[in-house]
Amino acid sequence: MTGFIRIFIQGLLVFIPLAITAYVLVKLFDIFSSFFSFINFTDVDAVKTVLGLVLTVTFIFLLGLLASSYIFKHIFTYFEEKLENAPFIRHIYSPVKDFTNAFMGNKRKFNRPVLVLIEPTANLHQIGFITNDDLEHFGLKEMVSVYLPLSYSLSGRLVIVPANHVKPMSSNPAETMKFVVTGGVSDVE
């Protein structure tokens, strides 16, 4: 039965990202297809479908092309600065952006996996990621902040522990996160 559960969870790990991606693409396709219905471009459903598909692929390609351009990066940086300084929006935008950057992109934050001694008397450890190893601005010397992800969730908790209770791990950060998030059932290469 354990083998079945492990294989089932691995199937979920493959299926869920594909399903979310497919859902977003279908919704985008529906938007473009409904545009042709709205303007009464044609009554032939096959033509609307093909045009919707072509427009969806073109839109995604152009968005990727635009996102990789030098000019777009500067424009995006300008608007991002405005969002981060807007009175109410900054309290929503900045944490969401930081959280997203922590998991994806070039600025991943969870790149230092550690083993944290949680309960010394029971020799209980938990896998986490150092997020800040200098907490002196909080008046906490020789303490580090460690994010402890929860299994089967994108949530976690932040703990402040003495630096000597943290042992660096030599494992790949992405594989370590996958191992923790899957409750330890995924294979680590």
Find the helix or strand (DSSP H, E) in which 129 lies: strand 124-132
Count of C-beta atoms within a 10 Å radius of residue 110:
19
Kindly give the pairing relationship between strand 124-132 and strand 143-149: antiparallel
CB 181 within 8 A of CB 113: no
Please tell me the chain's helix, strand, coil percentages from 3-state DSSP, rounded to the nearest 5.
55, 15, 25
Residue 145 has pLDDT above 80, yes or no: yes
Alpha helices in 39-183 (DSSP H): 45-67, 70-85, 90-103, 173-181
Q: What pLDDT is recorded for position 185?
A: 74
Instruction: Answer yes or no: is pLDDT of 76 > 70.
Output: yes
pLDDT > 80? residue 45: no
Q: What is the pLDDT of residue 99?
A: 61
Residue 104 has pLDDT above 70, yes or no: no
CA distance 148 to 97: 19
Q: Which residues pair with 115 in a beta bridge?
A: 127, 167
Is residue 129 over pLDDT 80?
yes
pLDDT value at position 114?
93
Radius of gyration of the CA atoms of the chain, in A: 23
The answer, yes or no, to whether residue 116 has pLDDT greater than 90, is: yes
Query: Nearest-5° angle of CA 8, CA 13, CA 15?
Result: 85
Mean pLDDT across 139-154? 84
The 8-class DSSP code of residue 153 comes to S
Burial class (CB in 10 A: 0-12, 13-18, 19+), 156: middle
What is the greatest pairwise CA distance in the chain? 74
Q: What is the DSSP letter of 187?
A: P
Residue 109, pLDDT > 80, answer no
Mean pLDDT of the chain: 76
Residue in 182, 105, 108, 180 with CA at minimum distance from that of residue 148: 180
* Mean pLDDT across 87-111: 66
Q: How far is CA 56 from CA 34, 153, 154, 189, in A?
A: 12, 31, 29, 37
